[in-house]
Amino acid sequence: MQSAPHAPGPLDGVRVLDLSRFIAGPSCAQMLADFGAEVVKVERPDGEDARHHEPYYEGESVYTMLYNRNKFGATLDTRHPDALGILEQLIRWADVVVENYRPGTIEKMGIGYERMTELKPDIILTSISGFGQTGPLSRRALFDAIAQASSGLMDTTGEADGPPTLTGTYIADYVTGYQAALGTFAALMHKERTGEGQRVDVASLDSMFATLGTRLISHLMLGAEMPRNGSRDLLTAPVNVYACADAQMYIQAGTNSLWPKLCHAIGRDELAVDERYRTVPGRMAHVPELEAVVADWARERTAEEISTVLETAGIPFAKVATVPEVAESEQIAARDMVVTSEHPKLGTIRMPGNPIKMEKSPPTVRKAPPTVGEDNEHVYRTILGMDDAELERLRSSGAV
């Protein structure tokens, strides 16, 4: 991921109005910004809700820095009498509007999709919500954990004899943000071909439901329900986390091609030809005893010793890394997955890079996440053409 102030991207020239907050909407808009779009993020004069969430670094919430780089930050009290007129000007300026209010909210604000198309007939409105713009639950509020619970994801996570468990990150928000960015890219391609805008409707429930994979298709096609299985693989064995002398190792050797390699690597070639274990169904019928064999072998060896053996054998494995370990790893560095930017208040800051790598038009870091209202002058003077008197009036009245 390049740090290039003026490098054009595939979305160079696309204008995005970001009215979203928290994670899913801002991460969608940030993805568009990384690929060159000019994004204006509008938030309350005291900052969006997420700015008041820990952790803080020198008084600034690092939470918001994750999802708002490459954006111009402007403030606006959307309940102020002057707000509607300003929002309408920004909609006329924009090619894309990203919002993640509860369905019905932007209509109450006076800027629903119908009104947007009156202001800008070819506008693309990307609406991100918990349950979508339609359906009996559409008006219900949702956060990431609710999406995990309501989609079935939480019920699939955890040990077989334990309770349903949240994942260790805001997976629903991240996936939904990426789905929304993908939908926006597709809408921009459609607009380029036809001149037509449209509404992109992305729901967290839908996004999580679509990730259920084998568990979902087993129900839909077979009427079967797969139980929670902790760190075991759903379909093959032996695949699990094993304790070694100095760490935890994840070893995946459940396929018919990998099983004989593992048997040879651990000095148990006789197991590879044992009729009980030769096939996937056979191994799945004997999971505990196979895992005990691997566990006994791993227990007496260090992570480095196991890594050498398994890499030589061509068996997929990984030491279970901590966040600091992976963040500072050579592989992450080689993939430009930690990038830097110059923050106006904090100096050089480190952020996660963009996981999409492109040869001809890579994502770039052009601007640090803005402080509250950092770019009001640019947005209100340069983009909307306000003069000194009008901007001062808005400031004095509390509108911005």
Detail the DSSP E strand segments found in 133-233: 199-203
Whether 173 is catalytic: yes
> Domain containing 276 — which CATH number?
3.30.1540.10
**Type of residue found at 183:** G
Contact assessment for residue 198 and residue 121, using Cβ atoms and an 8 Å cutoff: no
Pick from 251, 293, 256: nearest CA to 272: 256
Q: What is the pLDDT of residue 8?
A: 82
Cβ 253 vs Cβ 242: under 8 Å: no
Q: Which amino acid is at 284?
A: M
Whether residue 385 sits in one domain with residue 314: no
Q: Report the C-alpha gap between 91 and 15 in whole angstroms.
A: 10
Counted domains in the chain: 2
Q: Identify whether the C-beta of residue 94 lies closer than 8 Å to the C-beta of residue 116.
A: no
Last residue of a domain, one of 325, 353, 368: 325
Residues listed for the chain: 400
Q: What angle do CA 131, 33, 106 make, to 5 degrees?
A: 40
* Long-range pairs of 266-271 with CB within 8 A, sequence gap ≥ 24: 266/293, 266/294, 266/297, 266/309, 267/297, 268/293, 268/297
Q: Which of the residues 173, 201, 206, 375 is marked catalytic?
A: 173
Tally Cβ neighbours within 10 Å of residue 341.
19
8 Å CB contact between 70 and 34 = yes
Buried b (16+ CB within 10 A) or exposed e, 250-283: ebbbbeeebbbbbbebbeeeebeeeeebeeeeeb
The pLDDT score that the predictor gives to residue 2 is 54
Cβ–Cβ under 8 Å, residues 398 and 43: no
The verdict on 122 and 35 lying in the same domain is yes
Q: How far apart are CA 71 and CA 27, in angstroms?
A: 11
The answer on 259 and 198 residing in a single domain is no
Q: Are 248 and 319 in contact (CB under 8 A)?
A: yes
Contacts for 302 with CB less than 8 Å, ≥ 6 apart: 244, 245, 246, 247
60 lies in the same domain as 195:
yes
Domain shared by 106 and 143, yes or no: yes
Q: What is the CATH number of the domain that holds 124?
A: 3.40.50.10540
3-class state of residue 91 by DSSP: helix
Let me know if residue 99 belongs to a domain: yes
User: Last residue of a domain, which of 325, 346, 364?
Assistant: 325
pLDDT values of the chain reduced to their tens digit, one per residue, 400 residues:
655 555 689 999 999 999 999 999 999 999 999 999 999 999 999 999 999 999 999 989 999 999 999 999 999 999 999 999 999 999 999 999 999 999 999 999 999 999 999 999 999 999 999 999 999 999 999 999 999 999 999 999 999 999 999 999 999 999 999 999 999 999 999 999 999 999 999 999 999 999 999 999 999 999 999 999 999 999 999 999 999 999 999 999 999 999 999 999 999 999 999 999 999 999 999 999 999 999 999 999 999 999 999 999 999 999 999 999 999 999 999 999 999 999 999 999 999 999 999 999 999 999 999 999 999 999 999 999 999 999 999 999 999 9
Tokens of 120: 């800008």
Look up the pTM and report it: 0.95
Same domain assignment for residues 121 and 179: yes
In whole angstroms, how far apart are CA 137 and each of 130, 214, 290, 359?
Answer: 9, 26, 45, 42
Range of the domain at 263: 239-325
The answer on 187 and 74 residing in a single domain is: yes
Do 79 and 177 lie in one domain? The reply is yes
